[in-house]
């Protein structure tokens, strides 16, 4: 049994991931963006899941969430599943929150970041980006390129941590739409496997995964100069660094 925190657990892939992990006998920490949304995971809480409440677009909430997670203790894996498709919250939710939680949650040996095949259309430039979310300055594709590079940077800087990025495919969720062509079950199987399996493949760090197979991401993802520029942007914005991970 392992303890896994799944962000964005009240619907879609996050909810399916949390339900499967709990059903497999693991200790699960779910996350809701508000107390009202907790109703969507009450059936999991009734079965023993913990629940953290935080609006990931709010930097104060994100830090408090990290503190509460540390109070629970002994978290083995974090699946950074939460995401938004458009609007001013794209950078705060899809990139800044995973970065801050990575820096501040103590102890996980496995980190899984939800990417997307759309990351290949992202922009590697940083000029004009509003990390605060006061205005919309980045596309979903760009946010997923950044978070995929964050995953690769963690793998490089913290070899004791198994850091992976996952493309879940275009699956029929609220975000993906009912007509999405990919298999919903396959959309969360890889995250569960990476979080819990002792398969040597699952324990190899730095992978970009699609349906339990590694694929080649955008070339910038593994470009150390791009990674360092991204980390510098995030450190300047948040005031936290990844030094404690090394």
**Is the CB of residue 108 less than 8 Å from the CB of residue 33?**
no
> Which is catalytic among the residues 99, 113, 144, 226?
144
In the annotation, is 226 catalytic?
no
User: How many CA atoms within 13 Å lie on the side-chain side of 124?
Assistant: 14
**Strand order, beta sheet including 110-114:** 50-53, 27-32, 3-6, 77-80, 110-114, 162-166, 208-210, 213-214
As a whole number of angstroms, the distance between CA 188 and CA 20 comes to: 9
In the annotation, is 208 catalytic?
no
CA-based diameter of the chain, in Å? 47
CA dist list (Å): 96 to 111, 119, 190, 240: 15, 16, 23, 11
**Is the CB of residue 21 less than 8 Å from the CB of residue 192?**
yes
> Which is catalytic among the residues 113, 140, 208, 210?
140
As a whole number of angstroms, the distance between CA 2 and CA 75 comes to: 8
Q: Which residues belong to the active site?
A: 140, 144
């Amino acid at each position: 049994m392992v303890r896994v925190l799944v962000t964005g657990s009240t619907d879609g892939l996050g909810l399916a991931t949390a339900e499967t992990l709990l059903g497999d006998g693991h200790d699960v920490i779910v996350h809701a963006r508000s107390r009202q949304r907790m109703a969507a995971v009450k059936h999991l809480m009734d079965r023993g899941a913990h629940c953290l409440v935080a609006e990931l677009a709010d930097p104060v909430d994100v830090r408090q969430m990290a503190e509460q997670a540390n109070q629970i203790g002994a978290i083995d894996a974090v699946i950074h599943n939460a995401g938004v498709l458009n609007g001013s919250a794209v950078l705060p939710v899809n990139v800044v929150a995973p970065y801050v939680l990575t820096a501040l949650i103590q102890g996980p040996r496995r980190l899984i970041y939800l990417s997307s095949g759309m990351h290949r259309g992202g922009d590697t430039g940083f000029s004009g980006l509003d990390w605060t979310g006061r205005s919309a300055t980045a596309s979903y594709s760009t946010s997923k390129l950044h978070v995929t590079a964050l995953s690769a940077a963690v793998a490089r800087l913290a070899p004791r941590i198994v850091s992976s990025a996952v493309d879940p495919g275009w699956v029929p969720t609220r975000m993906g739409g009912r007509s999405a062509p990919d298999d919903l079950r396959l959309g969360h199987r890889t995250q569960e496997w990476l979080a819990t399996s002792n398969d040597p493949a699952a324990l190899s760090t730095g992978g970009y995964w699609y349906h339990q197979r590694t694929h080649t991401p955008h070339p910038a993802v593994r470009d150390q100069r791009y990674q360092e520029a991204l980390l510098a942007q995030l450190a300047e914005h948040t005031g936290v660094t990844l030094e404690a991970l090394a």
